[in-house]
Amino acid sequence: MIITILENNGFEVISPRKIGMSGKDDDEQLKCAVLNNSIVLTSDKEFPDPNPKINHKGILKIHKYNNPKKDMTPLKIVRALKNIENLKLDL
Per-residue pLDDT of the chain (91 residues; tens, 9 = 90+): 889 999 999 999 999 999 999 999 998 999 999 999 999 999 888 888 887 888 888 888 888 888 888 888 889 999 999 998 889 877 6
Q: What is the predicted pLDDT for the residue at 66?
A: 84
With residue 85 as reference, give the H or E element that holds it.
Answer: helix 74-86
Q: What's this model's pTM, rounded to 2 decimal places?
A: 0.76
Q: What is the predicted pLDDT for the residue at 70?
A: 82
Q: What is the predicted pLDDT for the residue at 67?
A: 82
- The candidate with the shortest Cα–Cα distance to 13, out of 81, 61, 76, 67, is 81
Please give the distance of CA 42 from its chain centroid, rounded to a whole number.
Answer: 5
